[in-house]
Amino acid sequence: PIFIDSETLFDLKKLRPTVRNGQNLVLLLTPQVLTRPWCLVEIVEAMLNAQSVVPVEVQRPGAAFKYPEESFYADLRDGKVLDSQGMSILLQEKISLKDVEEALRKLFRLIASPYSPHKTINVRHAEMQDILSRCRVD
């Protein structure tokens, strides 16, 4: 089975168990992904449970993902990355900003695969093959 959180998850209480029980977390690196609290919950859960995480850099003109630098982590620690609702979600999930930072630092030690939705079918096919080859299948 394939879990796509934006399409199949209607009860957020099932998010963490769904990530924990999955084999892979394919993380689409888009400009706002690190400011979305539920995405951070997924990343932390996957990293805490040694799940296979496959970062995928979505490459679209004008919508580049910016890899976090030290200033991002400082802003994260200072509570400047998430709004009050996002912070509340992390608190509710018992996830600290330290947990988020550790998970992100671990995540970004991995090499991201590219995915270019605007390129030719042959390029997209090759990129998808690379992404799928990095996924663990038991």
Are 90 and 83 in contact by the 8 Å Cβ rule? The answer is no
Residue 90 reports pLDDT greater than 60: yes
Q: What distance lies between CA 2 and its chain's CA centroid?
A: 16
Report angle CA 20, 138, 46 to the nearest 5 degrees.
20
Q: What is the pLDDT of residues 4-17, one digit of tens each?
A: 555 555 567 788 88
Q: What is the pLDDT of residues 94-137, one digit of tens each?
A: 999 999 999 999 999 999 999 999 999 999 999 999 999 999 88
Token output for 69: 């630098």
pTM of the model: 0.89
